[in-house]
């Protein structure tokens, strides 16, 4: 009997420890090294071209992945083969030998591609050129190994995010119906640690909807977020005059622990409003309802909610339309950059306001004057990196601007005094 009791106690303890481990592995907050790096995202594209690893900062440029040697301020290809010419190779047959090169074996051009760091590996997803095969690559942090760990055929892979060793992505498949070929969008997941690597369906929209895009996947803590843009069925032609009646624009939250999905809403939404995106701040969500029925002079009320969208509280009233929020883990940034990018504000009006956790405005600044960048740039952490290209065919060059932040010292001026230009040679 004593042995049985001892076994039961040990079993209970083991279960408790496992539950504690699981809780420790999946806290409902941001975990450095494993979670989706929302602070590295540019608002104009919904996959990242740069990512922070545990050993270096990585960036994707052209057909190659590079890392920044912060000790020497040099940009280097992510390949440790001593006999490799890397991006200086002129023989196409040898391109794939380089671990930094992400051109597929068939030498076709890349489709939309991005990178993301997670738990010791850098991942690169090439969505495929003109609907060709899409590839998911995994590269070791030191550039010693590159492997293709998954590929998709006969479908279109759109926007994606990697979070806690899982790839979440929008997948478009094509079905033959009596009315012809119909595209079906769905949100999928793929475990990056399961050797079987079987993709799973997370969400499928109602088949009666006309889906323009299932997009903008992002993640924080135990939650994944995405939006759907489309139309409900209409018995009349949808035109510029009546489209507001048939809009189906919604944002959703997916709980990766309970597997439940909820629509994100804010108080007092009307039929022409929808939650267009999410922003993160202090382990909570910042949400607002974008209104299609108002012009660029309109304003929005922003709310702060729990990570599942519950318990909304008013955060800011009458915020100008097209305002965006982002944070770097320490400060909250509010900017009109998206409004400037859309042409609804003058370029010289571009500004970022900075708030601390007590919501005190501690600084304002303008982006660096060395780059033309009017959309919301990736804000980074204590240091921000921003790749650039010359765009000059006669003098082609590219590099990275590094911003060593000194929040509190700018007072409305450009951040140029704390900028380091790292050019690739």
**Residue where a domain terminates, one of 237, 264, 291:** 264
Q: Does residue 227 share a domain with residue 116? A: yes
Q: Does residue 173 share a domain with residue 80? A: yes
Q: What is the DSSP annotation of 80-125?
A: --TT--GGG---GGGGGGSTTB---TT-PPP-SEEEEEETTEEEEE
Q: What is the per-residue pLDDT for 5? A: 39
Q: Does residue 59 share a domain with residue 161? A: yes
Q: Does residue 222 share a domain with residue 340? A: no
**Residue where a domain terminates, one of 264, 281, 298:** 264
Identify whether 252 is part of a domain. yes
Positions of the chain with pLDDT under 50: 1-24
Q: Does residue 134 share a domain with residue 40? A: yes
Q: What domain range is 414 assigned to?
A: 326-425
**Residue where a domain terminates, one of 241, 264, 287:** 264
Q: What is the per-residue pLDDT for 15? A: 36
Q: What's the domain count of the chain?
A: 2
The SS3 call for residue 224 is strand
Q: Does residue 206 share a domain with residue 82? A: yes
Identify whether 380 is part of a domain. yes
Greatest Cα-to-Cα distance within the chain, rounded to the nearest angstrom: 85
Q: Does residue 153 share a domain with residue 42? A: yes
Q: Does residue 260 share a domain with residue 335? A: no
Q: What is the per-residue pLDDT for 180? A: 67
Identify whether 312 is part of a domain. no
Q: What is the per-residue pLDDT for 19? A: 36
CA distance 192 to 279: 26
Q: Does residue 223 share a domain with residue 120? A: yes
Write the CATH number for 254: 2.130.10
Identify whether 278 is part of a domain. no
Identify whether 20 is part of a domain. no
Give pLDDT tens digits for 85-102. 999 999 988 998 999 999
Identify whether 411 is part of a domain. yes
Q: What is the per-residue pLDDT for 66? A: 97
Q: What is the per-residue pLDDT for 108? A: 72
Identify whether the C-beta of residue 102 lies closer than 8 Å to the C-beta of residue 115: no
Q: What is the per-residue pLDDT for 351? A: 95
* Confidence (pTM): 0.90
Q: Does residue 244 share a domain with residue 170? A: yes
Q: What is the per-residue pLDDT for 301? A: 95
Identify whether the C-beta of residue 276 lies closer than 8 Å to the C-beta of residue 324: no
Identify whether 294 is part of a domain. no
Identify whether 14 is part of a domain. no
Q: Does residue 256 share a domain with residue 150? A: yes
């Amino acid at each position: 009997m004593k042995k049985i009791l001892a076994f039961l106690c040990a079993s209970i303890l083991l279960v408790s420890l496992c539950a504690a481990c699981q809780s420790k592995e999946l806290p409902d907050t941001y975990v450095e090294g494993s979670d989706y790096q929302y602070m590295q995202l540019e608002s104009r594209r919904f996959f990242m071209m740069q990512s922070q690893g545990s050993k270096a900062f990585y960036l994707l440029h052209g057909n190659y992945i590079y890392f920044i040697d912060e000790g020497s301020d040099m940009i280097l290809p992510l390949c440790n083969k001593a006999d490799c010419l890397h991006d200086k190779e002129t023989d196409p047959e040898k391109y794939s030998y380089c671990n930094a090169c992400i051109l597929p074996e068939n030498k076709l051009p890349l489709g939309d591609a991005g990178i993301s760091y997670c738990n010791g590996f850098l991942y690169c997803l090439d969505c495929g050129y003109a609907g060709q095969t899409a590839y998911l690559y995994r590269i070791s942090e030191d550039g010693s190994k590159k492997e293709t760990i998954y590929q998709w055929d006969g479908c279109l892979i759109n926007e994606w995010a990697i979070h806690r060793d899982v790839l979440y992505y929008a997948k478009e498949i094509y079905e033959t119906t009596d009315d012809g070929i119909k595209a079906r969008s769905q949100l999928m997941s793929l475990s990056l640690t399961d050797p079987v690597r079987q993709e799973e369906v997370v969400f499928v929209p109602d088949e009666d909807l006309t889906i323009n895009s299932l997009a903008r996947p992002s993640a924080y803590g135990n939650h994944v977020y995405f939006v759907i843009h489309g139309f409900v069925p209409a018995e009349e032609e949808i035109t510029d005059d009546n489209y507001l009646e048939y809009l189906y624009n919604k944002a959703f939250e997916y709980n990766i622990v309970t597997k439940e999905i909820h629509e994100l809403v804010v108080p007092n939404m009307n039929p022409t409003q929808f939650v267009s995106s999410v922003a993160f701040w202090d382990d909570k969500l910042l949400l607002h309802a974008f209104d299609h029925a108002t012009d660029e002079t309109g304003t929005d009320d922003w709310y702060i909610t729990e990570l599942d969208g519950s318990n909304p509280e008013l955060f800011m009233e009458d915020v100008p339309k097209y305002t965006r929020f982002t944070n770097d883990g320490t400060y909250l940034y509010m900017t009109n950059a998206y409004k400037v990018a859309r042409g609804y504000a003058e370029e010289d009006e571009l500004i970022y306001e900075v708030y601390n956790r007590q919501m005190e405005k501690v600084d304002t600044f303008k982006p660096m004057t060395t780059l033309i960048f009017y959309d919301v740039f990736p804000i980074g952490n204590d240091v921000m990196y921003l790749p650039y290209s010359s765009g000059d065919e006669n003098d082609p060059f590219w590099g990275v601007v590094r911003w060593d932040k000194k929040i509190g010292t700018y007072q409305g001026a450009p951040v140029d005094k704390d900028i380091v230009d790292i050019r690739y040679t």
